[in-house]
Amino acid sequence: MAQPERVADTSVEQEKPRGSTPGLISRVRRSIWREPWPQDDRGRKRLILNDLILHLHAPTVPKRALQLTYSYGLGLLAVLLFAVLGFTGMLLVFVYTPTTDQAYASVLELRSQVWIGALVRNMHHWSGNLLLIASVLHLLRVFYTAAFHPPREFNWLLGLSLLLLVALSNFTGYLMPWDQLAYWATTISTSMLSYIPVVGESIREFFIGGPEVGEFTLRTFFAFHIAVLPPLMLIITSYHLWRVRKDSFSLPRALDEPPPNRRKLERVTTVPHLVNLEIGFGLLALVLLIAWSTWVDAPLENAANPAHPPNPAKAAWYFMGFQELLLHFHPAFVTVAIPGLAALGLLLLPYLDPDPRPEQDVVGIWFRSRRGRRLAALNLVLGVVVTAGWVVLDEYWLDLPALLPFLPTAVSNGFIPVGAMVGVLAVYYWWLRRRGITRSERNLALFTLLFMAFVTLTVVGVFFRGENMALVLPWNR
């Protein structure tokens, strides 16, 4: 196994003879870097870099871990975006004022009066959105390469909690500009809470601090946005990265290739091989983000007006899948049953998915197997087509509450359609099993189907809903 590069002994500062006292600069330096101080420039750079980087990474990594078409750098991108959000957010609080009569004006001031204020705001806005997208893509990468199988089950759970925090950070940040978009998106999203049976209204009022979104809501969301969620994310991200190191990074494998013997793998030193890749990728991402933020402004509508709701009033794009579901099912199922089942499935997945037989180890193989690839493609299409077809059917022809007027809507528009769907999925799963498809491949099929269904609902909600939330073509909106 190749050893980490070490600083050449000949170039290090020699110990001072006994009796002589080191100078102040030398003492400060030694208090930071305990190792002897190299005399040559290259050695000094290497010492400083190694000291920092080798706390994050192992000194050497398997060469095949550097394959960019495996991780696509998505975890790294998420880390970078989180750092950008922290930095730009820190600058924004110097100008932004979290009160209902000042917030909008302070954002306007930021855009037009403050040097590079618009760029900083744009970067903050786009990084937040991009972080959500990068986290979901990273989750998909981890899922489709089975990288959440043992020993990485717990890191999957940490990842899920990070995803929740990222969504909450975006959600609380959305209100900050206090424009029409922010006010009504938050009103719509928080009103979904009131559909939770029995306790819903109290939960909603607890979060927004009154009957409607107002001063208290803005102040509470601001506090969560800057003082609660970022430190939590920082702690969990650090833990997540530490676990990546402790659990070892999963390695890419070709179809039908047996699991690699880690002891026999070719290794390369982290510095410079991995670090160069990370720096290159990070710089490219940063340049693209700055270019995008220079040309594309973060949205800002007129100041919030609680008396004039827009038509249609929509939630933020990442909640539109739920808002779309509300048009089809009883609210209790949309706010409790469906997200509850989805969350439970995701939480249990790493404990239920892996097959204990060693010959069934699929970690590192994209889509598990040849058959897994076909199943993923088939269910991707199925998820889009069935969901889109069902949205149209439900919009124009199917009206269960009218067909079954003698039943409460919770039954006619909740238990019956949701129960029927769960039943169909269970039969599909059982049918796949009878055809000899492994558990992990069956889960992959179901996950793909449901994920694509949610993506389709989101796309319909964002692009195909016009006035009064009626279905329209995007170019006719």
Interface ranges with ligand HEM (CB under 6 A): 71, 74-76, 78-79, 82, 135, 138-139, 142, 147-148, 152, 155-156, 159-160, 162-163, 166, 237, 240-241, 244, 249-250
Q: How far is the CB of 136 from ligand HEM (least distance, A)?
A: 7
Give the CB-nearest residue to ligand HEM.
159
On whether the CB atoms of residues 176 and 222 are closer than 8 A, the answer is yes
Instruction: In angstroms, give the least distance from the CB of 457 to ligand HEM.
Output: 20
Closest separation in Å from C-beta 157 to ligand HEM: 8
Instruction: Decide: residue 275, CB within 10 A, 0-12 exposed, 13-18 middle, 19+ buried.
Output: middle
Tracing tokens 């037989």 back to the chain, one arrives at 357
Shortest Å distance, C-beta 349 to ligand HEM = 9
Q: Shortest approach of ligand HEM to residue 365 CB, angstroms? A: 12
| Residues contacting 412, CB < 8 A, separation 6+ | 400, 401, 403, 404
Closest CB to ligand HEM among residues 155, 220: 155
Min dist. Cβ of residue 30 to ligand HEM (A): 32
Instruction: Provide, rounded to whole angstroms, the least separation between the CB of residue 87 and ligand HEM.
Output: 15
Q: Residue 213, SS3?
A: coil
Neighbours of 345 (CB within 10 A): 14
Distance, CA of 428 to chain centre? 29
For residues 251 and 460, which CB has a smaller minimum distance to ligand HEM in the complex?
A: 251
Residue type, 247: D
Q: Name which of 241 and 416 has its Cβ closer to ligand HEM.
A: 241
Region at 354 (left for phi over 0; alpha for psi -120 to 50; beta for the rest): beta
Residue with Cβ nearer ligand HEM (103 or 132)? 132
* Environment class of 183 (CB within 10 Å of its CB; exposed 0-12, middle 13-18, buried 19+): buried
Distance of closest approach, residue 284 Cβ to ligand HEM, in angstroms: 15
Residue 147 or 320 having the CB closest to ligand HEM: 147
When the beta carbons of 106 and 443 are compared against ligand HEM, the nearer one is 443
Q: Would you report the helix, strand and coil content of the chain in percent, each value rounded to 5?
A: 65, 5, 30
Q: Vertex 154, ends 54 and 353: CA angle to 5°?
A: 130
Residue 95 or 286 with smaller CB distance to ligand HEM = 286
What is the smallest separation between the CB atom of 90 and ligand HEM, expressed in angstroms? 18
| Cβ distance to ligand HEM smaller for residue 7 or 74 | 74
User: Quick one: 44 or 240, whose CB is closer to ligand HEM?
Assistant: 240
For 68-137, the DSSP string reads: HHHHTTHHHHHHHHHHHHHHHHHHHTTT---STTTHHHHHHHHHHTSTTHHHHHHHHHHHHHHHHHHHHH
Lookup: tokens for 2: 């190749």
